[in-house]
């Protein structure tokens, strides 16, 4: 393990005066990585506290390492050999003189052994003590405690289940559908919904494997799956002096594979009476275990606003920024202050919820390929500019790499408005401005969600995505967009390029180039005749006889983000120059655009189209990852639905099954191999 001074961050935030209102720490180590490590470092810098980052081999050049004052290497890429090793973190604290540790979320954030090890070494853990972690961090034990305290809980079996047969027996007793959940789970891992015996057996096996891989704890339990539920959580904050507060709620119902995608505060569903009841119950639960620090009590809420305790997360939540936006509180700062022994100066009556905030999780995954993870280098990375209404929490930078070893999150995009409609509008615009190249990302899906009528109306449930995207996500799910907008922008960009080329050629006598003004814009399968002329601050485009003024006074040719107005409407269009034409992105939609003369358009229509190769005889790896197991061999007969292989990527187990009956001609790789996306695993006869 080696320590080194880190490089300066690529972009500095404005320095703030050092706060000396309490016995705060001089140096804090952040036992995490990615965006949450960067987030904690920002608050520490504002408070005048020095920071120490830890990093694995894969994170040697990570942003959190660059931002921290010091950095300590703790091991190989696999988290089990680095970020999850308690002794490495304690040693790093001793080496650097860090007085306290902020665990972020995930990894060791809810491990009582970690808190105990730090306490033994005389190092402060910025979070609850081991007793509270044990009582509330374990899903099984927390439900028992909540039930004993009179808190409404979801019907289920709270004992540890030994095998799939017992899981099926319990599920039948509760009644399908049921949820099979890892006791130490989180982040959507180790969770499966089962509607019958077969799914229960599969779910038990998958949840157990994921739990063991992600949390080194393979215990699972079964509870009733409530249909048409909402996932609403209460943020609590408590100190060592008897003050415990609830800071409003967060609506986290938009989930995919039990992992949150969109979060907002407040909830569009709760009324003041229910909010108060949930908040008071959350505080009572926190008091029952003498909870100290920030924590979250999660509830499932039915259509009649009946709520049931799910679990308590004894740490900072991924979605904490939306609470910060509507309360004006820095939760990381208050975690640090409470850990340093300060008393909370607020009372419950002082907590006011102002405005509306929404968070979108931007992931490196391909929504058009069933959200499979994407890895690689961020060739271009340009998040939207931060303002009072836009916040970006990120742990990556242009030129950095999205690794296969960790969560695929690129950033959290948070927008704020005085009401929900404003926050949604700000999110739509911010998504259009978020420029990412080099890896696939889910921004098209997020843009689609923001435009779903059900979402806009606030009619949410944890089944939202499954119900709104019954056949998976595809281009038809993108928000309908007036093609005239992209056609007008394409004509304007083409004109700007042609004018520049004409100016260059005019410098060589005899090579002057005439700029045309009448073209055909081909957008997908549609064609639009246009004429154009330059005016002050932009262009006047006539499309099919309709005048569309395009104005973009701040845009210059070559900039990837076209920001301006079309017919008075504000638009943000991402533009990638291709060998021929452009690829444009707007409102989640991707379009290949060509601008032709009338003759060129006529000739282009006659060009033959190349048919893609037939790959139906191969089982391809749908993502980069580890081939955990192969269930077939050369020459074996297979049936539709039969398991062929299991691929693990970013701690998620993906079972690949046969689509039809047939036989195996050849196995092209072996268990334990690292696979690239679309790599051949099995060839069929």
Average pLDDT score over residue span 27-49: 97
> From CA 280, how far away is CA 149, in angstroms rounded?
13
The residue from 311, 319, 359, 648 that is catalytic is: 311
pLDDT at 9 (0 to 100):
38
Sheet hosting strand 178-186, strand order edge to edge: 156-157, 220-224, 178-186, 189-194
pLDDT at 102 (0 to 100):
98
The yes-or-no verdict on residue 13 having pLDDT over 70 is no
In a domain, 416, yes or no: no
Q: Where residue 557 sits, what CATH number does that domain have?
A: 3.30.700.30
Q: Where residue 673 sits, what CATH number does that domain have?
A: 2.40.50.100
Bridge partners of 50, per DSSP, are 27
The yes-or-no verdict on residue 7 having pLDDT over 80 is no
pLDDT at 235 (0 to 100):
98
DSSP-assigned letter for residue 153: B
In a domain, 242, yes or no: yes
Confidence tier at 12 by pLDDT (50, 70, 90): very low
In a domain, 398, yes or no: no
pLDDT at 499 (0 to 100):
85
- Using an 8 Å Cβ cutoff, are 117 and 97 in contact? no
Residues 454 and 573 in one domain: no
Q: Where residue 257 sits, what CATH number does that domain have?
A: 3.30.470.20
pLDDT at 165 (0 to 100):
94
Residues 337 and 256 in one domain: yes
Average pLDDT score over residue span 631-649: 88
In a domain, 559, yes or no: yes
What would the two tokens of residue 130 be?
A: 């081991």
> From CA 124, how far away is CA 117, in angstroms rounded?
10
Name the residue among 336, 247, 324 with its Cα closest to residue 292: 336
In a domain, 628, yes or no: yes
Name the residue among 562, 557, 491, 499 with its Cα closest to residue 521: 491
pLDDT at 257 (0 to 100):
81
Domain ends where: 224, 248, 283? 224
Residues 14 and 101 in one domain: yes
Residues 263 and 352 in one domain: yes
The yes-or-no verdict on residue 20 having pLDDT over 80 is no
> From CA 164, how far away is CA 166, in angstroms rounded?
5
Helices 112-120, 86-96: crossing angle, 10 deg rounding: 30
Residues 519 and 623 in one domain: no
- Rounded to two decimals, the pTM is 0.81
In a domain, 411, yes or no: no
- CA distances to 189, 250, 322, 458, 618 from 264, rounded to whole Å, are 22, 6, 6, 11, 43
E-strand ranges in 229-331 read: 230-238, 244-256, 259-265, 293-301, 307-313
What would the two tokens of residue 532 be?
A: 């154009």
Residues 271 and 353 in one domain: yes
Residues 288 and 249 in one domain: yes
Residues 219 and 246 in one domain: no
- pLDDT tens for each residue of 292-313: 999 999 999 988 898 999 889 9
> From CA 420, how far away is CA 168, in angstroms rounded?
43
Average pLDDT score over residue span 473-488: 83
Q: Where residue 171 sits, what CATH number does that domain have?
A: 3.30.1490.20
Mean pLDDT of the chain: 89
Bridge partners of 236, per DSSP, are 246, 295
> From CA 453, how far away is CA 85, in angstroms rounded?
46
In a domain, 241, yes or no: yes
Which is more confidently placed, 656 or 353? Answer: 353
pLDDT at 196 (0 to 100):
95
- From the number of C-beta atoms within 10 Å of its C-beta (0-12, 13-18, 19+), residue 291 rates as buried
User: How many domains does one find in the chain?
Assistant: 5
Domain that holds residue 539: 483-604
In a domain, 59, yes or no: yes
Residues 48 and 196 in one domain: no
> From CA 625, how far away is CA 629, in angstroms rounded?
12
Residue 177: asked if its preceding bond is cis (omega within 30°), the reply is yes
Residues 675 and 659 in one domain: yes
Average pLDDT score over residue span 132-154: 81
Residues 240 and 359 in one domain: yes
- For tokens 């929404």, the residue is 358
* Residue 398 falls in the annotated catalytic set: no
pLDDT at 621 (0 to 100):
87
Domain ends where: 447, 473, 499? 473
pLDDT at 515 (0 to 100):
67
- From the number of C-beta atoms within 10 Å of its C-beta (0-12, 13-18, 19+), residue 680 rates as middle
Q: What is the dihedral of CA 137, 143, 148, 149, to 10 degrees?
A: 60
The yes-or-no verdict on residue 19 having pLDDT over 50 is no
Which is more confidently placed, 341 or 524? Answer: 341
pLDDT at 85 (0 to 100):
97
Name the residue among 493, 465, 390 with its Cα closest to residue 434: 390
> From CA 667, how far away is CA 680, in angstroms rounded?
9
Q: Tell me how far apart the terminal alpha carbons of the chain are, to the nearest angstrom.
A: 51
Residues 247 and 372 in one domain: yes
pLDDT at 58 (0 to 100):
95
Q: Vertex 333, ends 329 and 336: CA angle to 5°? A: 140
Other Cβ atoms closer than 10 A to 546: 10
Average pLDDT score over residue span 342-359: 97
């Amino acid at each position: 393990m080696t320590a080194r001074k880190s490089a300066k961050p690529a972009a500095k935030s404005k320095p703030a005066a050092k706060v000396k209102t309490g016995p705060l720490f001089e140096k804090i180590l952040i036992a995490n990585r990615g965006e949450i490590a960067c987030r904690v470092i920002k608050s520490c810098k504002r408070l005048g506290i020095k920071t120490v980052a830890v990093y694995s081999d894969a994170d040697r050049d990570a942003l959190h390492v660059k931002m921290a004052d010091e950095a300590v290497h703790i091991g190989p890429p696999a988290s089990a050999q680095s970020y999850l090793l308690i002794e490495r973190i304690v040693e790093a604290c001793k080496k650097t003189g860090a007085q306290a540790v902020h665990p972020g979320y995930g990894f060791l954030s809810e491990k009582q052994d970690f808190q105990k090890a730090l306490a033994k070494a005389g190092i402060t853990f910025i979070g609850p003590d081991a007793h509270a972690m044990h009582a509330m961090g374990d899903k099984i034990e927390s439900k028992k405690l909540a039930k004993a305290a009179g808190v409404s809980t979801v019907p289920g079996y709270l004992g540890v289940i030994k095998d799939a047969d017992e899981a099926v027996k319990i599920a039948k007793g509760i009644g399908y559908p049921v949820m099979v959940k890892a006791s130490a789970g989180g982040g959507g891992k180790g969770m499966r919904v089962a509607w019958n015996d077969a799914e229960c057996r599969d779910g038990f096996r998958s949840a157990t494997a994921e739990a063991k891989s992600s949390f080194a704890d393979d215990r699972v339990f079964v509870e009733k799956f409530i249909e048409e539920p909402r996932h609403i959580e209460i943020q609590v904050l408590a100190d060592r002096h008897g003050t415990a507060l609830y800071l409003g709620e967060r609506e986290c119902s938009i989930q995919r594979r039990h992992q949150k995608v969109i979060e907002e505060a407040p909830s569009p569903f709760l009324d003041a009476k229910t909010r108060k009841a949930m908040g008071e119950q959350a505080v009572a639960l926190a008091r029952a275990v003498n909870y100290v620090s920030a924590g979250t009590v999660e509830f499932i809420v039915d259509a009649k606003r009946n709520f049931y305790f799910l679990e308590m997360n004894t740490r900072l939540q991924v979605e904490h920024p939306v609470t910060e936006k509507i309360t004006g509180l820095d939760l990381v700062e208050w975690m640090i202050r409470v850990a340093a022994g300060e008393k909370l100066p607020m009372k419950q009556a002082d907590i006011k919820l102002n405005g509306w905030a929404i968070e979108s999780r931007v992931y490196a995954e391909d929504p058009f390929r069933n959200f499979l993870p994407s890895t690689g280098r961020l060739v271009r990375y340009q998040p939207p500019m931060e303002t009072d209404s836009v916040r970006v929490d990120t742990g990556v930078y242009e030129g950095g790499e999205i690794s296969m070893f960790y969560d695929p999150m690129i950033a959290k995009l948070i927008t704020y408005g005085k009401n929900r409609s404003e926050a949604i509008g700000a999110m739509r615009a911010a998504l259009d401005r978020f420029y990412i190249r080099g890896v696939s990302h889910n921004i098209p899906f997020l843009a689609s969600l923001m435009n779903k009528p059900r979402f806009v109306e606030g009619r949410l449930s944890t089944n939202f995505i499954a119900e709104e995207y019954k056949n998976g996500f595809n281009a038809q799910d993108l928000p309908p967009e007036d093609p005239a907008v992209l056609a007008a922008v394409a004509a304007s960009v083409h004109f700007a390029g042609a004018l520049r080329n004409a100016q260059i050629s005019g410098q060589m006598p005899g090579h002057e180039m005439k700029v045309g003004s009448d073209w055909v814009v081909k957008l997908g399968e549609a064609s639009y005749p246009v004429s154009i002329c330059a005016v002050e601050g932009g262009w006047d485009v006539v499309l099919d006889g309709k005048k569309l003024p395009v104005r973009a006074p701040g845009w210059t040719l070559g900039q990837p983000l076209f920001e301006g107005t079309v017919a008075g409407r504000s638009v943000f269009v991402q533009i990638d120059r291709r060998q021929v034409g452009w690829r444009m992105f707007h409102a989640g939609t991707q379009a290949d655009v060509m601008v032709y003369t009338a003759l060129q358009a006529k000739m282009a229509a006659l060009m033959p189209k190349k048919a893609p190769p037939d790959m139906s005889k191969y089982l391809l790896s749908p993502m980069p990852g580890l081939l955990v197991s192969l269930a077939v061999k050369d020459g074996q007969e297979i049936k539709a639905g039969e398991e062929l292989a299991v691929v693990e990527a970013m701690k998620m187990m993906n079972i690949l099954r046969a689509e039809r009956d047939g036989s195996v001609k050849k196995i092209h790789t072996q268990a334990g191999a690292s696979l690239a996306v679309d790599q051949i695993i099995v060839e069929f006869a």
